[in-house]
Homo-oligomer: A and B are copies of this chain.
Amino acid sequence: MAGMMNARFFLLGLLDQRPMSGYDIKRYLKSLEWLIGSPSFGSLYPSLHALLDQGLVTVEIASRSDKPPRKQYSITDAGRLALQEWADRPIFPRATLKDFVMVLMLAGNLTLPRVAAHLEQRRAQVATQRAVLERELHETSGQMTDSGERLALDYGLALATAELAWLDATLGDLAEGDDSATGPLQGNAR
């Protein structure tokens, strides 16, 4: 699902929101398959087993009358501790869009300043990458090089610009509703 052994921590974060079975997780993630992909059962179940072996989650077999029984996984105290440590780490330089969305998904477990810190880090990263793309585009625009490369650079530039706009707007919302109750987090999609 993602390199850097992120996948397991992400699953742990989902289980911190509410206990779920493997099947539940798969369905839940289906709606954002486009952004982060939903893991295959062939990687999902072994990941849950690994978390279990590490004592970060517990299982409970939930038998229901009308449907086959399922295994409900719940996070443990040790799991919450490990998750906290993971979420506190700064985004590593080569983080992808996927990595960022995974952190975003877990924002509900984080304090507002921590969420803001993650957004700021992403902002810095995207701004840097945008500058790289722009420089590259200007350098290659002189010589009539490959049109495919120009297309790709232009596309990347458009996405980076849109992402920066969203980050700024969302960061603004966070600052606005700073310590007010639950925090509003209105939509900023244009």
A residues within 8 Å of B by Cβ?
A: 17, 31-35, 37, 94, 96-97, 101, 104-110, 115, 129, 132-133, 136-137, 144, 146-163, 165-166, 170, 182-183, 185, 187-190
Contacts and interface: CB of A to CB of B under 8 A. Distances in A.
Contacts of A157: 187, 189
16 contacts: A31-B132, A33-B94, A35-B152, A37-B94, A101-B156, A104-B152, A107-B147, A109-B148, A137-B187, A151-B170, A154-B187, A157-B187, A158-B162, A158-B165, A158-B189, A162-B163
A105 B33 CA distance: 24
A132 B31 CA distance: 7
Q: How many copies does the complex hold?
A: 2
A190 B129 contact: no
A105 B154 contact: no
B97 A133 contact: no
B151 A104 contact: yes
Contacts of A163: 158-159, 162
B188 A104 contact: no
A150 to B, nearest CB: 6
Contacts of A165: 158
A147 B174 CA distance: 12
B17 A107 contact: no
